[in-house]
Structure 1
Amino acid sequence: MSRFRRCRQPGCHAMVQFPNHYCTQHYEHEAEYLANRQRWARSHDKQYQHKYNHVTRYRNDVKSEQYNFYRTTTWVRLRQQALDRDHYVCQYCGQPNSKTVDHIVPIEYDKQLKDHLDNLATICRKCHRLKTDWERSWYGTGKGNQLKNVPEILEVSKIKKLFPKTE
């Protein structure tokens, strides 16, 4: 079965069969569009991947080791156990169908807790963003920050109370 999409010409609502981007009336723009797309992809691919991998993700040996942990079978098994235990419900706000598992105490702060099921909680995207911001201020984690000597908080309910208010 053929797939269709709208013509990319602004204001034109004609349907176009894949892989084309323009209808027969505006087809003269097709070659220019494809050339621009290829030019953009060539100029951004290596730059973006290099920045993401070498500046953000693998900026030093410690971060590289942390991210490699997420590729192990230990992590896959622990993650699934945490999701099953929490029934895919965010432990911070109660939103169902949450599929992210987060370390309550970040690996960056305490490496010994990285493979403990008690240090994992199911979390939704919104709460994960809030918790990451909180971790940066409380523990001093994140790029460019200095780790602080503060007590670890392992209770989700206590951490939730310390989140910044968003309303």
Structure 2
Amino acid sequence: MPKTRRCRYPNCHAMVTFPDHYCQQHYEHEAEYLASRQRWARGNDKQYTHKYNTVTRYRNEDKRQQYNFYRTRQWSHLRQQVLERDHYLCAYCKVQGVIKPAKTVDHVRPLELFYNDGASIENLSVICGSCHTLKTKWEQRYYGSGKGNTPTGNKPVDDIRTINRMMRS
């Protein structure tokens, strides 16, 4: 006896034989369903993810060292300490008088340019998504960090209040 299953169409209780997913009445949805499964499989393919993490993402030797730092036990402990120290609240919003929850821990001085300050708890702060986007754009202008930029040689700014004012102007 062949293997059977229910039609995938909502509220249709007809039985279909493997490898089909839809009954004869709803067969026009079969191609669409198979295409969506292929898209999902492509996005969740371990070989693709492995290639991205080992080849594409780590082409630049400096970035490889930076990404490896974020995988260490030291970073996970530092991150947790900072989150608890700042009570899961964005430090940049707090300077403006706004209380906003956040889970991202960011380096005040970018790790890319100041690698020796990477493990310093004084160089870490909690930041929300919108502030992180603004700060990243500011860092690219001020420090020259990021892909394709050249370092500007500006002196580091450590005060969150000053950084907040500069990134919002």
* TM-score for both structures, normalised by structure 1: 0.76
Deviation at 1:108, TM superposition (A): 0.6
Find the partner of 1:115 among 119, 128, 137.
Answer: 119
Out of 136, 139, 147, the residue aligned to residue 143 of structure 2 is 139
Paired residue for 2:106, among 102, 117, 132?
102
Aligned-residue offset at 1:97: 2.2
SS at match of 2:147: coil
Change (3 A) 1:29 1:164: farther
Q: CA RMSD in A?
A: 2.7
Q: Could you tell me which of 20, 29, 35 is aligned with 2:8? A: 20
Unaligned ranges ≥5, structure 2? 1-5, 13-22
1:82 equivalenced with 2:82 (yes/no): yes
Equivalent runs, 1:56-75 vs 2, <5 Å: 57-75=57-75
Q: Mark the structure with the bigger radius of gyration.
A: 2
What is the CA distance between 1:42 and its match in structure 2? 5.7
| Amino-acid identity (%) | 35
TM-score (normalizing by structure 2): 0.75
Aligned to 1:128: 132
Where do residues 156-167 of structure 1 align in structure 2 (5 Å cutoff)? 156-165=160-169
The answer on whether the counterparts of 2:93 and 2:100 sit within 8 Å (CA) in structure 1 is no
Q: More displaced, 30-39 or 84-93?
A: 30-39
- 1:34 corresponding residue in structure 2: 33
How far apart, CA to CA, are the structure 2 residues paired with 1:30 and 1:53?
A: 38
Give the SS at the match of 2:125: strand
CA drift of 1:93 comes to 0.7
Across the two proteins, how many residue pairs are aligned to each other? Answer: 147
Partner AA of 2:122 in structure 1? D
Q: Secondary structure at the match of 2:26?
A: helix
Distance 1:36 1:91, change over 3 A: same
